[in-house]
Amino acid sequence: MKNETPIRVLFVCLGNICRSPAAEGVFQHLVDQSELLVEIEVDSAGTSGYHIGEPADSRMRSAAGRRGIELTSRSRQVIPGDFSRFDMVVAMDRSNYQELVREAGTYDGKVRLMSEFLKGPDKDRFPEEVPDPYYGENDGFEFVLDMVQAASPGLLEALLER
């Protein structure tokens, strides 16, 4: 029997079609594979409204699919209520982070950067920001997945420790 109030985590990037849907899918997959005593609710959103209603970028869906991860979410923009609803709001890059802190008001302590959850050698292998793959080549999508897969166990640990 799981507890009634889930732990809620929201992943955020600019467009909510590449990085944050990938983080959402990867993290959901990790949660599904872990035998947890608590329920964890996972969602994603964008700081911009450029792509509202769109599925994740097809290049990111293909790359994730090759890793056995299905990306099903549709783009939405961050809303003010997200900062009270979610326990943690995880930004992909510094620009998202700064925008979220500005919007969060008194909830600014919930805003974190994805790379904070990298551990050990992964802290040196990956940059501070999850790079935007939108205008790049296919290896950019693979790199985003590598990075969010590396950071996800540390994030899960941090959420469970709260």
132 counts as binding ligand 4NP under rule CB under 6 A: yes
Q: Are 23 and 145 in contact (CB under 8 A)?
A: no
Q: Which of residues 46-75 bind ligand 4NP (CB under 6 A)?
A: 50
Least CB distance to ligand 4NP at residue 120 (A): 26
In sequence order, the β-bridge partners of residue 42 are 9
Q: Which of 50, 57, 52 is nearest to 71 (CA)?
A: 57
53 versus 121: smaller Cβ distance to ligand 4NP: 53
Verify whether residue 19 is a known catalytic residue.
yes
Catalytic residue among 8, 66, 132, 162: 132
- Extended strands (E) in the chain: 7-13, 40-46, 88-91, 111-113
Catalytic residue among 18, 19, 61, 82: 19
And the tokens for 56? 């994740």
Dmax (CA) for the chain in angstroms is: 45
Verify whether residue 76 is a known catalytic residue.
no
Size of the site for ligand 4NP (CB under 6 A): 10
Q: Which of residues 1-20 bind ligand 4NP (CB under 6 A)?
A: 13-19
Least CB distance to ligand 4NP at residue 88 (A): 19
Q: Where are the alpha helices (DSSP H) in 11-66?
A: 19-33, 58-66
Verify whether residue 82 is a known catalytic residue.
no
Contact residues toward ligand 4NP (CB under 6 A) are 13-19, 50, 132, 134
